[in-house]
A and B are shown apart, each in its own frame.
Chain A
Amino acid sequence: MAREEKRKDVVIVGLGWTGSILGIELADEGLEVLALERGPDRDTVPDFQYPDVADELRYGIRYGFMQKPRNSTITLRHGLDDTALPYRQLGSFLPGDGVGGAGIHWNGHNWRAMEEEFRLRSYVEEEFGADIIPEGMTIQDWGVTYEELEPHFDRFEYMAGIAGQAGNINGEIIPGGNPFEAPRSRDFPMPPLPQTLNGRMFKAATEAMGLHPFPRPAANASEAYVNEYGMQLGPCNYCGFCERYGCLNYSKASPQTCILDALKRRPNFSYRTRCEVLKVEKAADGKTATGVTYWDEEAGEEVFQPADLVILAAYQLHNTHLMLLSGLGEPYDPRTGEGVTGKNYAYQMSGGTSMFFEDVEFNPFVGAGSNGYCIDDYAINQIDFAAEGFIGGSYISTSQTNGQPIRSMRVPGDVPKWGAGWKEGIKKWYGHSMSIGSHGSNMAYRDCYLDLDPTYKDPHGRPLMRLTFDWKDNDIRMTQFMRRQIEPIAQSMNPTSWASGYKQEGARYDIRPYQTTHNVGGTIMGEDPKTSVLNRYLQCWDVHNVFAMGAGAFPQNIQYNPTGVVGALAYWASDAIRKDYLTNPRPLV
């Protein structure tokens, strides 16, 4: 029998980026807001403090800030007729847990999606014809436009303190920025980050080829900054411990550095840690939720938390899992194409070329999470999909984030993996390489989705979520196209040697090597309850007092890192809740 807690106006599941944004926005509306976080509490001090956090083994290799598969994981299979096996040890993607979630251990690459990406199916059909969309590809429009999201992108960027160079302000192309980006209403709040040598070399090489390099938009502060909540950031000191680490320097935007200390001072906000939500409870009529049931780890008991409004703000995979377990939306069936919950899971297609320079010293440990130059000359809105034979695109960039030797020891292919030759090779080549990477889109397909596993259970006895996913020809053609653009750039820089790594025809999804944590879909937004589980305000079509945040809303993946879009969508949804829903709770569409 679950203990019942005192009713709250709002219960938020998960206290990462979106939970923190919805928390402060709804607390400022005067509501009683409670956030439930399944992991531990975390703050800059003591959890990210120098020197303890500068420990590659503990955090970079043993994933100290990540979700523990023992507590929560998924199973994987490649196809509908296969048996799925558990993701037992982290590799391909690294969901966070604990206060701050994945928002503490990202690098800070902060992007807006392109205008065309929000209406991708319409764009493809209008520009190239519906017949270029391959059989089984299930791309959709988002139901929200770039223009509608622009003020919310702007707000997220000014809240998080993004360092960058605008390329298009209200239609005027600005030299030095990205000329292919959608119009923004004003420049970034901070100037671009300082660059390292690899960035200067990439900029010179791409400019010489007539391309358009611009500094990466970075959630690493380039100067002192105070945001709208009164939170202070300090300039990044290029410590080289960014991705997989909490920021020791109050420089990388995270819930901790940008929101949480302000939110914790709101008397009508509270949060409880080590409280894992097991289920969203529905009222007898099935049209509203009554609250959530969670497991209180310290008390060792189930608790029912009544609330008028339920915000799912966990990581994409966990939001989908919770919706499947709670009967929110009809589960998606890949054989009929019907149902919506779990539909259109997509990942990210990346590749890269490493270059080795015998006589150049890069000092690779000098790194911010997001410094580097990018080009968008091969972006989604720059490619003739009909001519190239694929739908999608990539941004191309160089970065130097860290020189941590266990995981960042690039050596040419002729260096052996162990023995005297390896020891000689690491001395010769550490510090003498840079790379150019492509970070690209991944389309949605009818048979790539999420459902409940029939065999494996989590510690609460609930079925694990099952991921059915494999690479498709379309996306492999896209990454091979990027290879053909990147290799001439690399060769023009005259390296001693170079080596490429891009997925080739027939590649199967391999869950072992880290790729990205940019899992999307599963709780997609859209214009029609038959084809999406959320409406354009991230509101559950079926249960109107449940809203789900995060990259689960993406109907297919964008070519960029997702956090900027996740942040903008959170402000878009919170705006709709504040201005429209609270005065008259109902389906907003």
Chain B
Amino acid sequence: MTTTLPRKKKRAEAPSGRTLVSPSQLRTRGGKTLYVIVFVCTFVAFTIAFLFPLYWAVTGAMKTPAELAATPATLVPREWHPESFAEAWDQMNLGKYFLNTVVVAGGAWLVQLAVDVPAAFALSKLRPKFGNVVLGLMLVTLMLPAAALLVPTYVTVTDLPLLHLNLINSPTAIWLPAAANAFNIYLLKRFFDQIPDELIEAARLDGAGPVRTLWRIILPISRPILAVVSILTIVAAWKDFIWPLLVFPDTGKQTLSVMLQRVAIDMPLNLLVAGMVLASIPMIALFLVFQRQIFAGLTAGSIKG
């Protein structure tokens, strides 16, 4: 896995390296045949297990409700009805829910960057007094299972301490708690730690203040980690279910996931499936474009790749 963090330059160049099966064994005729058999089996198994369900959903959406309910199910639709996607869009008012979800995920992303990047920079490069205490208190929150904080955070969001604001039905109920993300701060801090201090000193000698240094020097060279953090944040916000379910009782404000679950019983199955496919497209597109960042995020900060 190619993590994009600096200092980790020594990456395993395993793809061509020696693995469990010895290369000499693979070169024999029997070895070659066995390899082909294993390869084909794995290929077929992976395709059936992971891609076929998606094929089933996309084609299912284009079947008529009668065909969907018939047994045995058809592998290829007898009649194609691609217009069910448009119908689903209209009937479920998907445009509105897409917008809601984009606002929730986009806002969570911006607020997180705005809060976590300066914090990580301050902890890493300015190293204030008691900085380690602050970082430690933040990291402690990682040790709590998320579910354990569900109820008290909900209670807090309904009546913010001191301010006495009720954030229910407001996207801020998602944005603000999301920004309390110790994992992101930790990832960012670790990256900033590896930026040489000399660079910052040089900027300071040139008369740049800390904010300017952060903006003009640190952020441009931190693009890889910012990409990882951004993707992690957006994907998490798009996929989240239980928290949006709690904070958006107003059906018009809900995100796609919450809405789909709510209408699941009443919708004709073909339209529901069409809606599900449409709701997944942004994530799949994101995945295809940002694979590298997503795979890097998978191993960054967790386990040595």
Q: Do A and B come from one complex?
A: no
